[in-house]
Structure 1
Amino acid sequence: MKNRNIVITYLVMTLIFLSEVVLNFNQYSYRGYYTDKIIGWLWLAMTVFIIIKLWKKKAIKAYFGLLVAGIILSILPMMIPFFALLSYFSTIDSYQRISLNDEYRIERHRPGALSKPQIAIYQQKGIFEKRISKTPYVEVLEKVIQRPSIDISSDERNESIQEAKLVSANKDSIGIEYKIMNKKQIFYHKNKEDWFDDL
């Protein structure tokens, strides 16, 4: 009976984890940057626990084999899916997270191993949030420091955002005043997704 309760708890955790994965594929997530990390690590910890606890069962051995095969297969195509998994479970390539207000937050990050840094804007509603815009970070730098990208050095491209303030928000764009390298400028991000009437 005790093992049954453990399996039921694990299945519930797995469903929550899978719901987060499905939400991510559709640009949604549960509210808060660390929420998906916590869900992921809890699922991972419970997976290790259940494999050790119930190792003698054939179903668990088969499940472990599937997990290992999945990891190996994710490494084969240039390791891109593997790096995506690594990014999902960790804070690697997440450089900055700034809360603009109770509804919006921005994140300066690199979404993939072969991607360039970008600014992602998230709108929060209840327990969910959705990425409504993404912009290459170099475009923001160009606007703020008033120089073309060709004249922005690699060191400058890694400069942090000193301040970010919400100026305006509507269904078409989000205006944010950035301060980078002691210079201020408003950048208008276009909304890629319109979800103001969703949820």
Structure 2
Amino acid sequence: MKNKNIVIAYLVITLVFLSEVVLNFNQYSYAGYYTNKIIGWLWLALTVFIIIRLWKKKAIKAYFGLLVAGIILSILPMMIPFFALLSYFSTIDSYQRISLNNDYRIERHRPGALAKPQISIYKQKGIFEKEIGRTPDIEILEKVLQRSSIDIPSDDRNEPIQQAKLVNANKDSIGIEYKIMNKKQIFYHKINGNQSDY
């Protein structure tokens, strides 16, 4: 494969990767949990390949320097941007992913280095999906277990969701029946903003 073709392929993957980043800032993403991971790892692998293959070129050395500088700068402010990058490329802070139907899925995860576990709800439309709601995990535990957060031991907080079933959905809320520790309750999640046009 000629260097020119490799660079063109890399630029295409980079544009797809950047489009995913822009979508993420607007609470959208390409449909499916692993899609952004695959795009990210493909971009990362091609970046390493390009740098090794074209190392003698000054532009590539400058590009490599910018990438390293970016990583170092992301570590400086309490490592929060670095952990965000790490979370983007890996499944470290993603505990569970459950498909409710063809349109909705939920993810139990920690959205940031300093954040507490959350349940995020995603709605899919074509090749895109949007995060339409986010609720602290502890609120769902309180509702299902019928206990206050003070009375829920740390071991119980780590218990997985055994089952999640869509009850109903409208423009204001989405009802999901959760089963945790063999107990079932319906929890109504508020929808972010007006989703009627989505």
Would you say the 8 A contact 1:133–1:193 is kept in 2?
no
The residue number in structure 1 matching 2:71 is: 71
Would you say the 8 A contact 1:117–1:137 is kept in 2?
yes
Indicate yes or no: 2:93 matched with 1:61: no
Cα distance in structure 2, aligned partners of 1:76 and 1:194: 37
Indicate yes or no: 2:148 matched with 1:148: yes
Would you say the 8 A contact 1:132–1:194 is kept in 2?
no
Q: 1:116, CA displacement in angstroms?
A: 0.4
Q: Deviations over 1:136-157 (max 9, x none)?
A: 0000000000001111111111
The residue number in structure 2 matching 1:124 is: 124
Secondary structure of 2:34's match?
A: helix
Q: CA RMSD in A?
A: 0.9
1:33 is aligned with what amino acid? Y
Q: 1:105, CA displacement in angstroms?
A: 0.1
Cα distance in structure 2, aligned partners of 1:48 and 1:161: 38
Q: Deviations over 1:99-119 (max 9, x none)?
A: 000000000001111110010
Secondary structure of 1:197's match?
A: coil
Cα distance in structure 2, aligned partners of 1:38 and 1:195: 28
The 5 Å alignment of 1:23-38 reads: 23-38=23-38
User: What's the TM-score once normalised by structure 1's chain length?
Assistant: 0.98
Secondary structure of 1:33's match?
A: coil
Cα distance in structure 1, aligned partners of 2:174 and 2:34: 23
Identity, % of aligned positions: 83
Cα distance in structure 2, aligned partners of 1:172 and 1:157: 28
The residue number in structure 2 matching 1:168 is: 168
Tell me how many residue pairs correspond in the alignment.
198
Q: 1:95, CA displacement in angstroms?
A: 0.3
The residue number in structure 1 matching 2:101 is: 101
2:138 is aligned with what amino acid? V
The residue number in structure 2 matching 1:41 is: 41
Poorly superposed stretches of 4+, deviation over 4 Å = none
* Unaligned segments of structure 2, at least 5 residues: none
2:158 is aligned with what amino acid? N
Cα distance in structure 1, aligned partners of 2:195 and 2:84: 25
Would you say the 8 A contact 1:80–1:113 is kept in 2?
yes
Cα distance in structure 2, aligned partners of 1:185 and 1:5: 55
Cα distance in structure 2, aligned partners of 1:113 and 1:171: 31
* Unaligned segments of structure 1, at least 5 residues: none
Q: Deviations over 1:40-95 (max 9, x none)?
A: 00000000000000000000000000000000000000000000000000000100
Q: 1:2, CA displacement in angstroms?
A: 1.2
